[in-house]
Structure 1
Amino acid sequence: MTRLVLAEFADPETLVAAARRARQAGLRGLDAHTPFAMEELPEALGFGSTGIRLVMLASGIAGAAFAFWLQWWTAVLDYPVNAGGRPLFSWQVFVMPTFEGGILLATFGGILAFLLTSGLPRLNHPVFDAHGFDRASQDRFFLAIEDPRADGARVAALLDGLAPLSIREVAA
């Protein structure tokens, strides 16, 4: 069973320092909730590359290849039409649909990869039921630690000196 410990801070610098400490202590399942985006927070939490770019590249190449193959197959094999003595395989007219097919599948692949890597759609999380968590969109900064080894006392000892406003365990 995993435990969910929520630490509340008054300023963003303390949250980043707490995230670094928790990561250095070997705690996993770190997440932060802030009223605005912070550039240094993903690095402090240990977020790495998600691989979405590679998925988009692969699906874009596959989409372009499929669009080009479909046009070639239709124009050369399935329904060849000799229009004005032009060759059946005139690749120049295949460029725009090939580009559009690549963009379309890259977009779909990126959206699907994003949803899978981020765990969406998750409509409810236990942290949303924590007392005072609604202030995460106003003026508070929260560090959520979802780790079986984390408990309130260990996290309080770990964050000693950072003066968190509160540290509480949330029923997961």
Structure 2
Amino acid sequence: MSGRQVAPLLGLVAEFDDDAPLLRTLRDARAAGWRGLDAFGPHPLPEAAPLLGVRATPVGIVAASVGVAAAAAQYGVQYWLGVQDYPLNVGGRPPHAWPVFLPAAYIVGVLWAAAAALVGMLLLNRLPRLHHPIFNARGFGRASEDRWFLFLPAADAGFDPVAAELLLRAHGPLRVTELRG
């Protein structure tokens, strides 16, 4: 006799046809103590960010610091080569002609800042995420078209599936489904 094992419950997913009920549900879920919420939809909702616990990332600081360090390193290499290691008298200019060193230092700084911004954004957002269990939720493909989804994770402290379902159904979702992994 082979018994089929039931996959563990990962959480509940509610599907909405508009962003207003999603925001109301988010507010009520935060008030009820939920912390690990996640929302998905066709465009960003600035009002949802604080409710989801999203905070600014230090990508700008990372990019600026790497860019300044790269520009300083480039300037230092040019200084060392042009003044210390192999000085040339070109047209009577002094060996340390700093205006000549600036364009290359600027270009290298911008290049490394852009690369640091890209890598920092990917790492801080934990991307690329090739698979997430929410992708298996019924109808989730419409999250990029015209539907809004709210995920209440079972890993959140004090998860009660009945209370979570009541909270979600109170705001009139199109459907509430269990997400199993």
Number of matched residues? Answer: 172
Which stretch has the larger CA shift, 34-43 or 8-17?
34-43
Structure 2 counterpart SS, 1:47? coil
1:11 aligns with: 18
How far apart, CA to CA, are the structure 2 residues paired with 1:75 and 1:29?
A: 56
Q: How do residues 4-153 of structure 1 correspond to structure 2 at under 5 angstroms?
A: 4-149=11-156, 150-153=159-162
Tell me if 1:156 matches 2:165: yes
Structure 2 counterpart SS, 1:93? helix
Structure 2 counterpart SS, 1:120? coil
How far apart, CA to CA, are the structure 2 residues paired with 1:4 and 1:110?
A: 33
Amino acid at match of 2:170: G
Tell me if 1:171 matches 2:157: no
Indicate how the Cα distance of structure 1 residues 50 and 73 shifts in structure 2: closer, same or farther if over 3 A, else same. Answer: same
Find runs of 4+ consecutive structure 1 residues off by over 6 angstroms: none
Amino acid at match of 2:174: L
Structure 1 unaligned runs (5+)?
A: none
Determine what percentage of the aligned residue pairs are the same residue. 39
How far apart, CA to CA, are the structure 2 residues paired with 1:72 and 1:128?
A: 54
Indicate the RMSD between aligned Cα atoms, in angstroms. 1.9
Give CA-to-partner distance per residue, 1:89-148, whole Å, 9 cap, x none.
100011111111111111111111100111111111111111111222222110123341
Which stretch has the larger CA shift, 37-46 or 70-79?
37-46
Structure 1 counterpart SS, 2:88? coil
Structure 2 unaligned runs (5+)?
A: 1-7
Indicate how the Cα distance of structure 1 residues 100 and 40 shifts in structure 2: closer, same or farther if over 3 A, else same. Answer: same
Q: Report the TM-score when normalising by structure 1.
A: 0.89
How far apart, CA to CA, are the structure 1 residues paired with 2:99 and 2:80?
A: 15
How far apart, CA to CA, are the structure 2 residues paired with 1:78 and 1:52?
A: 37
How far apart, CA to CA, are the structure 1 residues paired with 2:36 and 2:173?
A: 19
How far apart, CA to CA, are the structure 1 residues paired with 2:93 and 2:9?
A: 68
Q: Report the TM-score when normalising by structure 2.
A: 0.85
How far apart, CA to CA, are the structure 1 residues paired with 2:33 and 2:15?
A: 20
Give CA-to-partner distance per residue, 1:65-111, whole Å, 9 cap, x none.
11111111111122111223221110001111111111111111111
How far apart, CA to CA, are the structure 2 residues paired with 1:46 and 1:159?
A: 19
